[in-house]
Structure 1
Amino acid sequence: MRRPIAVASSHSRLLRAGIVLAASLLLPSLAAAPASAGGDDGPSVRGTASMGGGVLAHEGVRGRPAAGTRVVQTEGVDVSSHQGNVAWTTLWNSGVKWAYVKATEGTSYRNPYYAQQYNGSYDVGMVRGAYHFATPDTAGGAAQADYFVDNGGGWSKDGSTLPGVLDIEYNPYGATCYGRTADQMVDWIRAFLDRYKVRTGRDAVIYTSTNWWQQCTGDYSGFGDRNPLWIARYASTVGPLPAGWSFHTMWQYTSSGPTVGDHDLFNGGLDRVVQLANG
């Protein structure tokens, strides 16, 4: 649990407000980041984390793919409660053809906009799936996989439902690696993945960044032969991948803020997106 925050004096509150205002004027690109992006202190309320928020806070820049990288790739988005009711038709018309929606976090949080986001993306024709924001310091991997599947993270072979995603990244609420050693983190991830496979028959996708993976799993290489990789890197190229993967399936190349969600590229054409959905 986070420590209670002491009530600040009016002088302290005014001082902090002045600092925040100055930062927003001097650093507009950082001020535009969603509140869930965190930073060293992270969001104050459990459940407010969003995919890539920790990446943005720790690795910093918003990227754009280099010219020519989109030729055989398919545009997608990922969204959470921060986007509220999403204008899916607008996104579809802009070229977005697949989406992932945050369903759950830990074993107590469910995205209140899940139905509009998950069903709305499907209704306009997108291939869509759900993701779970992992909090290894609050409950075991198997328990969180069960919670995910029970609250929107299931799978069906209909050509429109992507396998669930384990979003495992920087801790927005505290210690970067959630207080776990590399071996403990690998065990936690394995427990989640194994349970998800038992419940759905599919191997979950792993979303992470190379830097976090190296730091918090010791660059473990044992999942690359079964779990597709969704790499987070806000730069002009994907860059080096975590150990065990020779290629990525998806790439989150920018965190665009609370209005439109994060943008991603699938490493292949739309037919490959459908192929992943079908298993």
Structure 2
Amino acid sequence: MPVYRCGPGRRTPPTTMAAHLVSLLAALALVVTLPSATAASSEGRPAHPDRDWMGSTLRDHESAPALPDNSALAHVEGVDVSSHNANVSWSKLWDSGARFAYVKASEGTGYTNPYFSQQYKGAYREGMIRGAYHFALPDTSSGAAQADYFTDHGGGWSSDGRTLPGVLDMEYNPYGSQCYGMSTGRMIDWIEDFFDTYRERTGRDAVLYTSTTWWKKCTGNHNGFGGWNPLWMPRYGSASGELPAGWGFYTFWQYTDSGPTVGDHNRFNGTLSRLKTLAYG
């Protein structure tokens, strides 16, 4: 029986070669299957969802925030919060004038806000009109799948007069290309898929949160949703500015992410009675 030794010009024994081959294949498989630290996985689990909230991507792409002037138009003050706000003091927000709140419920199809219960129920107990929102990752799963996930994890609606319709948060991709690597046509179809499924599940048309700049870039300024889906407009400044195509007015305006109290600050475009009407459906 030959004796095999390692070294120049020496053969490696078949059993050793097989072991090396198995190890190499295992290492290659690990490299292929490890999720990127900077992108959402194919299963829809985001890499850093606690840093993704309504408007969190705007600073990198649009104008810096500035507090608005005192508007003479009727409006209702409110906030939006997510897990990065942790446990929220709702009494302080109420005392500051906030009368409605939106809470991040989910992202993609693999993340739910660990503080959702404290935030969503806390706002309700304080007397606020509350609702939930979903941070979209359209490159990880279908619009229908994410609408179902959102509805099943806090994004539903009830006709109690204190629950607002859910919100689809469409903004710059925090994990890669701004439009998630999707054409304008595919993006429009994805959003429609989400809206159709949410309406089937809840009986309500979801609110759309998006900026005009993103909407133009990623949908080609599509004008087909304005007749049904209320608009939530983020623009940090003294006025809401140009609206996306299809909407003649905004329903909500996120005017700053650096207000005097916790959360991003928003205005409902109308009186408190009109806000209650939106909640009742």
Q: Same fold (TM over 0.5)?
A: yes
1:51 to 51, 54, 57: 54
Pairwise CA RMSD: 1.7
1:203-239 Cα distance to aligned partner (Å, 9 max, x none): 0000000000000000000000000000000011000
Sequence identity, in percent? 59
Which consecutive segments of 4 or more residues in structure 1 shift more than 4 A? none
Q: Deviations over 1:163-199 (max 9, x none)?
A: 0000001111110000000000000000000000000
Deviations along 1:16-72, one digit per CA (max 9) or x if unpaired, are xxxxxxxxxxxxxxxxxxxxxxxxxxx9524531110111221141122223x1541
Q: 1:161 maps to what in 2?
A: 163
Query: Alpha-carbon deviations, 1:231-275, whole Å to 9, x = none?
Result: 000011000000000000000001128971100000011111111
Matches for 1:29-48 after TM superposition, within 5 Å: 45-46=48-49, 48=51
Structure 2: gaps spanning 5 or more residues: 1-33, 39-45
Q: Secondary structure at the match of 1:151?
A: helix
Query: Quick one: distance in 1 between partners of 2:260 and 2:150?
Result: 23
Q: What's the counterpart of residue 96 of structure 2?
A: 94
For 1:80 and 1:226, the matched residues in 2 are separated by 26
Amino acid paired to 2:51:
T
Q: Distance in 1 between the 2:195 and 2:227 partners?
A: 13
- Aligned counterparts of 2:36 and 2:130: Cα–Cα separation in 1: 38
Alpha-carbon separation, structure 2, partners of 1:4 and 1:150: 27
Contact 1:56 1:255 in 2 (8 A): no
Corresponding position of 2:28: none
* Change in 2 beyond 3 A, CA 1:91/1:4: closer
CA shift digits 1:117-155 (9 cap, x unpaired): 000000000000000000001110000000000000000
2:57 is paired with a residue whose SS is: helix
Following superposition, the deviation at residue 3 of structure 1 comes to 3.5
Q: Distance in 2 between matches of 1:256 and 1:205?
A: 23
State the TM-score, normalized to the length of structure 1: 0.83
Asked if the contact 2:198–2:206 (Cα under 8 Å) also holds between the matched residues in 1, the reply is yes
> In the aligned structure 2, how far is the partner of 1:116 from the partner of 1:145?
22
Match of 1:142 among 141, 144, 149: 144
Structure 1, unpaired ranges of 5+? 6-42
